[in-house]
Amino acid sequence: MNKKKFVYVVSDSVGETAELMVKAVASQFTGEDIEIQNFSYVEDTKDLNNVIAVSKYSDGIIAYTIVIPSLKKYLDQKACEEGIIAIDLMSPLMTAFSQKFNKEPKGQPGLMRKLDDNYFRRVEAIEFAVKYDDGQEVQGITRADIVLIGVSRTSKTPLSMYLANKKFKVANVPLVPEIEPPEELFDIPRNRCVGLVITPDKLNEIRKERLKNLGLATQANYANLDRILEELDYAENIMKRIGCPVINVSNKAVEETADSILAILKKERSLLI
């Protein structure tokens, strides 16, 4: 029966990187009884002394991803003194980066986790925008960072997705004369809501093109100018009731409108602080 081999994964952060690398290597040694133990968030030499003591007692290997220079130096020195194999998993690549970019690393633990958190916040915001698109599930109105309102074809959905990629949770609500807007719209602070308007001629043009792409008659009520004027007038009255800022999207790209929204909301919110 093989004697159990111990590998201690040590990190001044979570240690996921080191653990994955150790597992990948361990998988190449089938038949060996290898146990991997984690020592995460080591903060001082006392933590490292514990690792050294355990490793020496079990005749184990230390594999580490430590970016704080003083801790790395201490671990290397103590491991050498105690005859323990300690493998620095990051230094070779870190050195290559430094040489290539002519720049020193930050030496700050947890930076990858921060990047991951940003990624997951963006994914969460995108999922939110999809779930609460076009007035679906009005509960999203009270949970959103930004609520966009306007008639059909005022770029509510593309704006929601663009802002979601900037990690804002966005809900959008279409305003239609025959449908009473959700009560939640009138309960949220006005500095979380933005109205989108457009000139009648531009909207008429956009809607006709939309109908054409769908293979429908461009004379449909959806693109009728009188109907468009009715919708815009209704939407304007709702926006006045809410008291929210309004942006004309007639000749604006999505990116430009998004920047305007963020600028307006920043100003509105600062006035209320």
Domains of the chain and CATH, by start: 5-109 (3.40.50.2300), 119-272 (3.40.50)
Q: Specify the residue for token string 């040694």.
A: 29
**In sequence order, what are the residues at sequence separation of 6 or more whose Cβ sits closer than 8 angstroms to the Cβ of residue 130?**
none
- Here the tokens at position 48 are 């490292």
For residue range 163-188, list pLDDT tens digits in order: 999 999 999 999 999 999 999 999 99
Packing angle, helices 69-82 and 45-58, rounded to 10: 30
Buried-state track 141-158, b at ≥16 Cβ within 10 A, e below 16: beebbbbbbbbbbbbbbe
Please give the mean pLDDT across all residues of the chain: 89
Enumerate the known binding-site residues. Answer: 150-157
For residue range 217-251, list pLDDT tens digits in order: 888 899 999 999 999 999 999 999 999 999 999 99
* Cα 79 from Cα 87, distance rounded (Å): 10
| pLDDT band at residue 37 under the 50/70/90 scheme | very high
For residue range 90-124, list pLDDT tens digits in order: 888 878 888 888 877 776 666 655 555 777 788 88
Percent of the chain with pLDDT over 70: 93
For residue range 152-165, list pLDDT tens digits in order: 999 999 999 999 99
Is the predicted pLDDT of residue 273 greater than 80, yes or no?
Answer: no
Rg from Cα positions in the chain = 29
Q: What is the pLDDT of residue 217?
A: 84
**In sequence order, what are the residues at sequence separation of 6 or more whose Cβ sits closer than 8 angstroms to the Cβ of residue 142?**
184, 187, 188
Enumerate the known binding-site residues for ADP. Answer: 150-157
Q: What angle do CA 55, 60, 65 make, to 5 degrees?
A: 80
